[in-house]
Chains A and B, each alone.
Chain A
Amino acid sequence: MARFVVRRVLQMVMVMFAVSVLTFLIFNVIPNSDPAVRMAGRQASESTIQAIRKEWGFDDSLPTQYVTTMKKVFTGDLQSQFTQLPVGEEIMKGLPRTLSLAIGAALLWMFVAICFGLYSAVRAGKLADRFLTILALIGISMPVFWIGALMTHYLGFKLGWFPNGGYVELTKDPIDWAYHLILPWTALAILFIGFYSRVLRSNVLDTINEDYVRTARAKGLGERQIMVRHVLRNSMIPIVTLWGLDFGAVVGGTAILTETVFDLQGVGQYAAEAIGQLDVPPVLATTMFAAFFIVFLNAVVDILYAVLDPRIRLQ
Protein backbone atom coordinates (compact mmCIF):
# COMPACT_ATOMS: atom_id res chain seq x y z
CA MET A 1 0.00 0.00 0.00
CA ALA A 2 2.84 2.41 0.88
CA ARG A 3 4.52 1.67 -2.43
CA PHE A 4 1.27 2.30 -4.22
CA VAL A 5 0.97 5.71 -2.57
CA VAL A 6 4.55 6.71 -3.37
CA ARG A 7 4.19 5.66 -6.99
CA ARG A 8 0.93 7.52 -7.31
CA VAL A 9 2.38 10.71 -5.83
CA LEU A 10 5.36 10.59 -8.19
CA GLN A 11 3.04 10.17 -11.10
CA MET A 12 1.04 13.15 -9.87
CA VAL A 13 4.11 15.38 -9.83
CA MET A 14 4.95 14.36 -13.39
CA VAL A 15 1.46 15.11 -14.66
CA MET A 16 1.56 18.50 -12.91
CA PHE A 17 4.75 19.32 -14.74
CA ALA A 18 3.14 18.35 -18.04
CA VAL A 19 0.12 20.48 -17.17
CA SER A 20 2.30 23.50 -16.55
CA VAL A 21 4.04 22.96 -19.88
CA LEU A 22 0.75 22.68 -21.73
CA THR A 23 -0.59 25.83 -20.03
CA PHE A 24 2.55 27.64 -21.07
CA LEU A 25 2.13 26.43 -24.65
CA ILE A 26 -1.52 27.49 -24.78
CA PHE A 27 -0.75 31.04 -23.77
CA ASN A 28 2.68 31.64 -25.27
CA VAL A 29 3.15 29.42 -28.29
CA ILE A 30 -0.04 28.15 -29.93
CA PRO A 31 -1.73 31.51 -30.70
CA ASN A 32 -0.85 33.35 -33.86
CA SER A 33 0.03 36.68 -32.31
CA ASP A 34 2.64 38.47 -30.29
CA PRO A 35 2.35 37.23 -26.69
CA ALA A 36 3.36 40.64 -25.38
CA VAL A 37 0.53 42.33 -27.24
CA ARG A 38 -1.91 39.74 -25.97
CA MET A 39 -0.63 40.09 -22.43
CA ALA A 40 -0.97 43.85 -22.53
CA GLY A 41 -4.65 43.77 -23.34
CA ARG A 42 -6.76 45.37 -26.05
CA GLN A 43 -5.71 48.97 -25.75
CA ALA A 44 -2.11 49.22 -24.69
CA SER A 45 0.56 51.69 -25.55
CA GLU A 46 3.72 50.63 -27.34
CA SER A 47 5.81 51.31 -24.22
CA THR A 48 3.64 49.00 -22.07
CA ILE A 49 4.05 46.27 -24.63
CA GLN A 50 7.80 46.73 -24.62
CA ALA A 51 7.90 46.66 -20.82
CA ILE A 52 5.91 43.42 -20.78
CA ARG A 53 8.10 41.88 -23.45
CA LYS A 54 11.11 42.56 -21.27
CA GLU A 55 9.49 41.50 -18.01
CA TRP A 56 8.32 38.14 -19.37
CA GLY A 57 11.39 37.61 -21.51
CA PHE A 58 9.37 36.98 -24.67
CA ASP A 59 12.51 37.36 -26.77
CA ASP A 60 14.30 34.51 -24.94
CA SER A 61 14.31 30.89 -25.97
CA LEU A 62 11.15 28.89 -25.13
CA PRO A 63 12.65 26.95 -22.17
CA THR A 64 13.85 30.20 -20.60
CA GLN A 65 10.43 31.73 -21.19
CA TYR A 66 8.86 28.75 -19.50
CA VAL A 67 11.08 29.13 -16.46
CA THR A 68 10.39 32.87 -16.27
CA THR A 69 6.64 32.29 -16.47
CA MET A 70 6.65 29.57 -13.82
CA LYS A 71 8.80 31.70 -11.54
CA LYS A 72 6.26 34.48 -11.79
CA VAL A 73 3.38 32.14 -11.10
CA PHE A 74 4.93 30.48 -8.08
CA THR A 75 6.58 33.46 -6.41
CA GLY A 76 3.36 35.43 -6.34
CA ASP A 77 4.90 37.97 -8.67
CA LEU A 78 2.00 37.68 -11.08
CA GLN A 79 -0.15 40.76 -11.51
CA SER A 80 -3.38 41.47 -13.27
CA GLN A 81 -2.73 43.70 -16.28
CA PHE A 82 -6.05 45.32 -15.64
CA THR A 83 -6.28 46.01 -11.90
CA GLN A 84 -2.56 45.60 -11.11
CA LEU A 85 -3.55 43.50 -8.08
CA PRO A 86 -1.43 40.41 -7.35
CA VAL A 87 -3.08 37.31 -8.76
CA GLY A 88 -2.05 34.93 -5.99
CA GLU A 89 -3.63 37.03 -3.26
CA GLU A 90 -6.85 37.43 -5.20
CA ILE A 91 -7.10 33.69 -5.70
CA MET A 92 -6.51 33.01 -2.00
CA LYS A 93 -9.16 35.57 -1.14
CA GLY A 94 -11.73 33.87 -3.33
CA LEU A 95 -10.86 30.30 -2.44
CA PRO A 96 -13.01 29.92 0.72
CA ARG A 97 -16.02 31.13 -1.23
CA THR A 98 -15.41 28.75 -4.11
CA LEU A 99 -14.83 25.83 -1.74
CA SER A 100 -17.99 26.69 0.20
CA LEU A 101 -19.91 26.55 -3.03
CA ALA A 102 -18.31 23.34 -4.29
CA ILE A 103 -18.35 21.34 -1.04
CA GLY A 104 -21.96 22.17 -0.24
CA ALA A 105 -23.08 21.44 -3.77
CA ALA A 106 -21.14 18.17 -3.89
CA LEU A 107 -22.73 16.92 -0.66
CA LEU A 108 -26.15 17.98 -1.86
CA TRP A 109 -25.90 16.33 -5.27
CA MET A 110 -24.44 13.12 -3.86
CA PHE A 111 -27.18 12.78 -1.26
CA VAL A 112 -30.04 13.52 -3.62
CA ALA A 113 -28.53 11.42 -6.41
CA ILE A 114 -28.23 8.36 -4.16
CA CYS A 115 -31.89 8.67 -3.21
CA PHE A 116 -33.04 9.23 -6.79
CA GLY A 117 -30.73 6.64 -8.30
CA LEU A 118 -31.62 3.89 -5.84
CA TYR A 119 -35.33 4.60 -6.09
CA SER A 120 -35.11 4.68 -9.87
CA ALA A 121 -33.25 1.36 -9.99
CA VAL A 122 -35.62 -0.37 -7.59
CA ARG A 123 -38.55 0.89 -9.67
CA ALA A 124 -36.79 0.28 -13.01
CA GLY A 125 -39.20 0.47 -15.92
CA LYS A 126 -42.06 1.77 -13.82
CA LEU A 127 -43.63 5.19 -14.12
CA ALA A 128 -41.61 6.70 -11.26
CA ASP A 129 -38.37 5.56 -12.89
CA ARG A 130 -39.30 7.07 -16.24
CA PHE A 131 -40.30 10.30 -14.61
CA LEU A 132 -37.00 10.52 -12.73
CA THR A 133 -35.08 9.63 -15.89
CA ILE A 134 -36.67 12.47 -17.85
CA LEU A 135 -36.11 14.80 -14.90
CA ALA A 136 -32.46 13.78 -14.76
CA LEU A 137 -32.04 14.35 -18.49
CA ILE A 138 -33.61 17.80 -18.18
CA GLY A 139 -31.17 18.48 -15.34
CA ILE A 140 -28.10 17.66 -17.42
CA SER A 141 -29.46 19.62 -20.39
CA MET A 142 -29.67 22.98 -18.61
CA PRO A 143 -26.76 25.42 -18.58
CA VAL A 144 -25.99 26.14 -14.93
CA PHE A 145 -25.70 29.90 -15.45
CA TRP A 146 -29.09 30.02 -17.12
CA ILE A 147 -30.97 28.14 -14.41
CA GLY A 148 -28.98 30.11 -11.85
CA ALA A 149 -29.97 33.42 -13.38
CA LEU A 150 -33.63 32.39 -13.50
CA MET A 151 -33.46 31.29 -9.86
CA THR A 152 -31.96 34.54 -8.60
CA HIS A 153 -34.42 36.56 -10.64
CA TYR A 154 -37.59 34.72 -9.70
CA LEU A 155 -36.87 33.18 -6.27
CA GLY A 156 -34.54 35.92 -5.09
CA PHE A 157 -35.55 39.19 -6.71
CA LYS A 158 -39.23 38.66 -7.52
CA LEU A 159 -40.41 36.51 -4.61
CA GLY A 160 -37.78 37.60 -2.12
CA TRP A 161 -37.43 34.13 -0.60
CA PHE A 162 -33.68 34.12 -0.96
CA PRO A 163 -31.01 36.81 -0.99
CA ASN A 164 -30.38 38.26 -4.39
CA GLY A 165 -26.80 37.00 -4.67
CA GLY A 166 -23.85 37.82 -2.42
CA TYR A 167 -21.83 35.90 0.15
CA VAL A 168 -21.53 35.97 3.94
CA GLU A 169 -18.48 34.57 5.73
CA LEU A 170 -19.03 31.24 7.42
CA THR A 171 -17.19 32.46 10.51
CA LYS A 172 -19.38 35.54 10.73
CA ASP A 173 -22.78 33.89 10.56
CA PRO A 174 -23.09 30.22 9.57
CA ILE A 175 -26.84 30.39 9.08
CA ASP A 176 -26.66 33.43 6.84
CA TRP A 177 -23.76 31.75 5.03
CA ALA A 178 -25.92 28.74 4.20
CA TYR A 179 -28.90 30.95 3.43
CA HIS A 180 -26.89 32.82 0.83
CA LEU A 181 -25.58 29.62 -0.66
CA ILE A 182 -28.83 27.63 -0.97
CA LEU A 183 -29.59 28.85 -4.47
CA PRO A 184 -26.03 28.47 -5.84
CA TRP A 185 -25.78 24.99 -4.31
CA THR A 186 -29.07 23.98 -5.86
CA ALA A 187 -28.29 25.41 -9.28
CA LEU A 188 -24.94 23.65 -9.38
CA ALA A 189 -26.29 20.43 -7.92
CA ILE A 190 -29.13 20.10 -10.45
CA LEU A 191 -26.68 19.31 -13.23
CA PHE A 192 -24.82 16.68 -11.23
CA ILE A 193 -27.92 15.15 -9.66
CA GLY A 194 -29.13 14.36 -13.13
CA PHE A 195 -25.83 12.82 -14.06
CA TYR A 196 -25.13 10.92 -10.85
CA SER A 197 -28.58 9.49 -10.36
CA ARG A 198 -28.37 8.00 -13.83
CA VAL A 199 -24.93 6.56 -13.30
CA LEU A 200 -25.96 5.16 -9.94
CA ARG A 201 -29.16 3.74 -11.40
CA SER A 202 -27.33 1.85 -14.10
CA ASN A 203 -24.62 0.71 -11.68
CA VAL A 204 -27.24 -0.58 -9.29
CA LEU A 205 -29.06 -2.36 -12.09
CA ASP A 206 -25.81 -3.97 -13.21
CA THR A 207 -24.89 -4.93 -9.68
CA ILE A 208 -28.30 -6.39 -8.91
CA ASN A 209 -27.65 -8.95 -11.62
CA GLU A 210 -24.28 -9.92 -10.21
CA ASP A 211 -23.87 -13.44 -8.98
CA TYR A 212 -22.81 -12.32 -5.53
CA VAL A 213 -26.08 -10.50 -5.03
CA ARG A 214 -27.89 -13.71 -5.84
CA THR A 215 -25.64 -15.40 -3.29
CA ALA A 216 -26.56 -12.76 -0.74
CA ARG A 217 -30.23 -13.39 -1.42
CA ALA A 218 -29.71 -17.15 -1.16
CA LYS A 219 -28.17 -16.55 2.25
CA GLY A 220 -31.51 -15.31 3.50
CA LEU A 221 -30.45 -11.72 4.07
CA GLY A 222 -33.09 -9.03 4.25
CA GLU A 223 -33.71 -6.82 1.24
CA ARG A 224 -32.37 -3.76 3.03
CA GLN A 225 -29.12 -5.48 3.97
CA ILE A 226 -28.69 -6.79 0.42
CA MET A 227 -29.25 -3.33 -0.99
CA VAL A 228 -26.90 -1.53 1.38
CA ARG A 229 -24.12 -4.03 2.04
CA HIS A 230 -23.95 -5.74 -1.34
CA VAL A 231 -25.57 -3.63 -4.05
CA LEU A 232 -25.00 -0.05 -2.94
CA ARG A 233 -21.52 -0.66 -1.56
CA ASN A 234 -20.37 -2.11 -4.86
CA SER A 235 -22.25 0.40 -7.01
CA MET A 236 -20.74 3.30 -5.12
CA ILE A 237 -17.12 2.52 -5.92
CA PRO A 238 -17.10 4.03 -9.42
CA ILE A 239 -19.24 6.91 -8.20
CA VAL A 240 -16.84 7.89 -5.45
CA THR A 241 -14.11 8.18 -8.06
CA LEU A 242 -16.34 10.30 -10.21
CA TRP A 243 -17.24 12.41 -7.21
CA GLY A 244 -13.68 13.36 -6.50
CA LEU A 245 -13.00 14.24 -10.10
CA ASP A 246 -16.19 16.24 -10.49
CA PHE A 247 -15.52 18.10 -7.29
CA GLY A 248 -12.24 19.17 -8.84
CA ALA A 249 -13.97 20.08 -12.08
CA VAL A 250 -16.46 22.24 -10.17
CA VAL A 251 -13.77 24.10 -8.23
CA GLY A 252 -11.66 24.51 -11.33
CA GLY A 253 -14.30 25.03 -13.96
CA THR A 254 -18.02 25.03 -13.33
CA ALA A 255 -17.62 27.55 -10.50
CA ILE A 256 -16.69 30.11 -13.16
CA LEU A 257 -20.16 29.79 -14.61
CA THR A 258 -21.98 29.74 -11.29
CA GLU A 259 -20.30 32.39 -9.17
CA THR A 260 -20.88 35.32 -11.51
CA VAL A 261 -24.61 34.72 -11.66
CA PHE A 262 -24.86 34.69 -7.86
CA ASP A 263 -22.16 37.31 -7.28
CA LEU A 264 -20.23 35.08 -4.89
CA GLN A 265 -16.88 36.79 -5.58
CA GLY A 266 -14.93 33.53 -5.52
CA VAL A 267 -12.06 32.36 -7.67
CA GLY A 268 -14.47 31.51 -10.45
CA GLN A 269 -15.90 34.98 -10.66
CA TYR A 270 -12.39 36.39 -10.51
CA ALA A 271 -11.47 34.24 -13.50
CA ALA A 272 -14.69 35.09 -15.33
CA GLU A 273 -14.03 38.79 -14.99
CA ALA A 274 -10.46 38.36 -16.18
CA ILE A 275 -11.73 36.41 -19.19
CA GLY A 276 -14.16 39.17 -20.03
CA GLN A 277 -11.28 41.64 -20.09
CA LEU A 278 -8.91 39.22 -21.85
CA ASP A 279 -6.62 39.74 -18.87
CA VAL A 280 -4.06 36.97 -19.44
CA PRO A 281 -2.11 36.60 -16.15
CA PRO A 282 -5.12 35.73 -13.95
CA VAL A 283 -6.50 33.39 -16.61
CA LEU A 284 -3.14 31.67 -16.91
CA ALA A 285 -2.82 31.21 -13.16
CA THR A 286 -6.36 30.00 -12.57
CA THR A 287 -6.15 27.60 -15.52
CA MET A 288 -2.99 26.04 -14.21
CA PHE A 289 -4.07 25.84 -10.59
CA ALA A 290 -7.42 24.39 -11.60
CA ALA A 291 -5.66 21.60 -13.47
CA PHE A 292 -3.24 21.09 -10.57
CA PHE A 293 -6.16 20.75 -8.21
CA ILE A 294 -7.75 18.13 -10.42
CA VAL A 295 -4.52 16.17 -10.78
CA PHE A 296 -4.14 16.26 -7.00
CA LEU A 297 -7.71 15.12 -6.40
CA ASN A 298 -7.23 12.42 -9.00
CA ALA A 299 -4.37 10.99 -6.98
CA VAL A 300 -6.35 11.23 -3.74
CA VAL A 301 -9.26 9.43 -5.35
CA ASP A 302 -7.02 6.67 -6.67
CA ILE A 303 -5.56 6.10 -3.24
CA LEU A 304 -9.01 6.14 -1.69
CA TYR A 305 -10.18 3.72 -4.33
CA ALA A 306 -7.43 1.32 -3.37
CA VAL A 307 -8.69 1.45 0.19
CA LEU A 308 -12.27 0.79 -0.91
CA ASP A 309 -11.57 -1.93 -3.41
CA PRO A 310 -8.79 -4.27 -2.30
CA ARG A 311 -8.28 -5.66 -5.81
CA ILE A 312 -6.79 -2.37 -7.05
CA ARG A 313 -3.77 -2.55 -4.78
CA LEU A 314 -2.48 -5.53 -6.68
CA GLN A 315 -2.03 -3.73 -9.98
Chain B
Amino acid sequence: MYYILAFIAGTLTIISMVTNSTLAKYVGTAQSTLVNFITGLLVSLVMFFFFNNQSLAFISFPLWALLGGFLAVFIVIITNLVIPKIPAIYTSLLIFVGQLLTGIIIDFLVNHSVNSNKIIGVSIIVLGLFFNFMVDKKDNKKEINLKDEISIS
Protein backbone atom coordinates (compact mmCIF):
# COMPACT_ATOMS: atom_id res chain seq x y z
CA MET B 1 0.00 0.00 0.00
CA TYR B 2 2.70 2.53 1.03
CA TYR B 3 4.72 1.34 -1.96
CA ILE B 4 1.92 2.40 -4.28
CA LEU B 5 1.56 5.77 -2.52
CA ALA B 6 5.31 6.43 -2.91
CA PHE B 7 5.07 5.51 -6.61
CA ILE B 8 2.08 7.84 -7.13
CA ALA B 9 3.99 10.60 -5.31
CA GLY B 10 6.71 10.16 -7.97
CA THR B 11 4.26 10.50 -10.88
CA LEU B 12 2.69 13.57 -9.23
CA THR B 13 6.17 15.09 -8.80
CA ILE B 14 6.61 15.11 -12.58
CA ILE B 15 3.12 16.55 -13.22
CA SER B 16 3.65 19.38 -10.72
CA MET B 17 7.17 20.00 -12.07
CA VAL B 18 5.86 20.32 -15.64
CA THR B 19 2.99 22.59 -14.52
CA ASN B 20 5.32 24.83 -12.50
CA SER B 21 7.92 25.08 -15.26
CA THR B 22 5.23 25.97 -17.82
CA LEU B 23 4.05 28.70 -15.45
CA ALA B 24 7.70 29.76 -15.07
CA LYS B 25 7.77 30.52 -18.80
CA TYR B 26 5.19 33.24 -18.12
CA VAL B 27 6.43 34.68 -14.83
CA GLY B 28 9.93 33.28 -14.13
CA THR B 29 10.91 30.52 -11.72
CA ALA B 30 10.85 32.51 -8.49
CA GLN B 31 7.30 33.77 -9.01
CA SER B 32 6.18 30.37 -10.23
CA THR B 33 7.48 29.03 -6.91
CA LEU B 34 5.57 31.80 -5.11
CA VAL B 35 2.33 30.75 -6.83
CA ASN B 36 3.12 27.12 -6.02
CA PHE B 37 3.36 27.88 -2.30
CA ILE B 38 0.30 30.17 -2.22
CA THR B 39 -1.88 27.50 -3.88
CA GLY B 40 -0.28 24.85 -1.68
CA LEU B 41 -0.93 26.82 1.50
CA LEU B 42 -4.59 27.46 0.55
CA VAL B 43 -5.19 23.77 -0.17
CA SER B 44 -3.37 22.80 3.06
CA LEU B 45 -5.52 25.20 5.09
CA VAL B 46 -8.72 23.75 3.60
CA MET B 47 -7.47 20.24 4.42
CA PHE B 48 -6.50 21.41 7.90
CA PHE B 49 -10.00 22.72 8.70
CA PHE B 50 -11.69 19.60 7.36
CA PHE B 51 -9.41 16.82 8.53
CA ASN B 52 -7.38 18.04 11.48
CA ASN B 53 -8.48 16.12 14.57
CA GLN B 54 -5.42 16.78 16.70
CA SER B 55 -5.62 19.54 19.28
CA LEU B 56 -3.24 22.42 18.71
CA ALA B 57 -1.64 22.26 22.15
CA PHE B 58 2.02 23.15 22.04
CA ILE B 59 4.10 20.09 21.37
CA SER B 60 7.87 20.13 21.90
CA PHE B 61 9.61 19.05 18.74
CA PRO B 62 13.07 19.42 17.19
CA LEU B 63 13.26 22.86 15.54
CA TRP B 64 15.46 21.58 12.69
CA ALA B 65 12.47 19.67 11.36
CA LEU B 66 11.07 23.07 10.32
CA LEU B 67 13.78 23.37 7.67
CA GLY B 68 11.78 21.27 5.15
CA GLY B 69 9.75 24.17 3.73
CA PHE B 70 12.87 26.32 3.53
CA LEU B 71 14.75 23.55 1.69
CA ALA B 72 11.91 23.20 -0.83
CA VAL B 73 12.57 26.78 -1.99
CA PHE B 74 16.35 26.43 -1.74
CA ILE B 75 16.26 23.31 -3.98
CA VAL B 76 14.33 25.20 -6.68
CA ILE B 77 16.91 28.01 -6.60
CA ILE B 78 19.92 25.66 -6.78
CA THR B 79 18.35 23.56 -9.55
CA ASN B 80 17.77 26.69 -11.59
CA LEU B 81 21.37 27.80 -11.11
CA VAL B 82 22.63 24.41 -12.25
CA ILE B 83 20.28 23.59 -15.17
CA PRO B 84 21.62 26.16 -17.66
CA LYS B 85 25.22 25.13 -16.94
CA ILE B 86 25.07 21.37 -17.49
CA PRO B 87 22.90 19.26 -19.85
CA ALA B 88 19.42 18.65 -18.41
CA ILE B 89 19.74 14.86 -18.46
CA TYR B 90 22.91 15.13 -16.37
CA THR B 91 21.02 17.27 -13.86
CA SER B 92 18.27 14.73 -13.25
CA LEU B 93 20.71 11.80 -13.09
CA LEU B 94 22.91 13.59 -10.55
CA ILE B 95 19.92 14.74 -8.48
CA PHE B 96 18.56 11.17 -8.43
CA VAL B 97 21.91 9.73 -7.33
CA GLY B 98 22.28 12.40 -4.62
CA GLN B 99 18.79 11.56 -3.34
CA LEU B 100 19.28 7.80 -3.24
CA LEU B 101 22.65 7.93 -1.46
CA THR B 102 21.44 10.48 1.10
CA GLY B 103 18.29 8.40 1.65
CA ILE B 104 20.41 5.40 2.61
CA ILE B 105 22.62 7.51 4.88
CA ILE B 106 19.59 9.02 6.67
CA ASP B 107 17.97 5.59 7.13
CA PHE B 108 21.29 4.41 8.56
CA LEU B 109 21.48 7.35 10.97
CA VAL B 110 17.88 6.83 12.09
CA ASN B 111 17.97 3.05 12.53
CA HIS B 112 21.71 2.68 13.29
CA SER B 113 21.85 -0.16 10.78
CA VAL B 114 21.40 -0.62 7.08
CA ASN B 115 20.59 -3.88 5.33
CA SER B 116 22.72 -4.94 2.39
CA ASN B 117 19.63 -5.31 0.15
CA LYS B 118 19.19 -1.54 0.19
CA ILE B 119 22.74 -0.99 -1.04
CA ILE B 120 22.45 -3.70 -3.73
CA GLY B 121 19.04 -2.33 -4.77
CA VAL B 122 20.28 1.24 -5.04
CA SER B 123 23.30 0.12 -7.12
CA ILE B 124 20.97 -1.63 -9.59
CA ILE B 125 18.67 1.44 -9.71
CA VAL B 126 21.64 3.73 -10.44
CA LEU B 127 22.70 1.28 -13.19
CA GLY B 128 19.18 1.49 -14.70
CA LEU B 129 19.13 5.31 -14.45
CA PHE B 130 22.56 5.45 -16.08
CA PHE B 131 21.49 3.09 -18.88
CA ASN B 132 18.48 5.25 -19.78
CA PHE B 133 20.69 8.31 -19.46
CA MET B 134 23.00 6.87 -22.14
CA VAL B 135 20.00 6.11 -24.40
CA ASP B 136 18.80 9.72 -23.98
CA LYS B 137 22.26 11.03 -24.75
CA LYS B 138 22.41 9.08 -28.02
CA ASP B 139 18.91 10.25 -29.01
CA ASN B 140 19.86 13.86 -28.31
CA LYS B 141 22.93 13.54 -30.54
CA LYS B 142 20.81 12.07 -33.33
CA GLU B 143 18.36 14.96 -33.03
CA ILE B 144 21.18 17.51 -33.18
CA ASN B 145 22.66 15.81 -36.28
CA LEU B 146 19.23 15.85 -37.87
CA LYS B 147 18.91 19.57 -37.17
CA ASP B 148 22.33 20.15 -38.78
CA GLU B 149 21.27 18.27 -41.89
CA ILE B 150 18.05 20.25 -42.11
CA SER B 151 19.85 23.56 -41.71
CA ILE B 152 22.40 22.55 -44.38
CA SER B 153 19.76 21.50 -46.87
Task: Decide whether A and B assemble into one complex.
Answer: no
Give the interface of B toward A (CB within 8 A): none
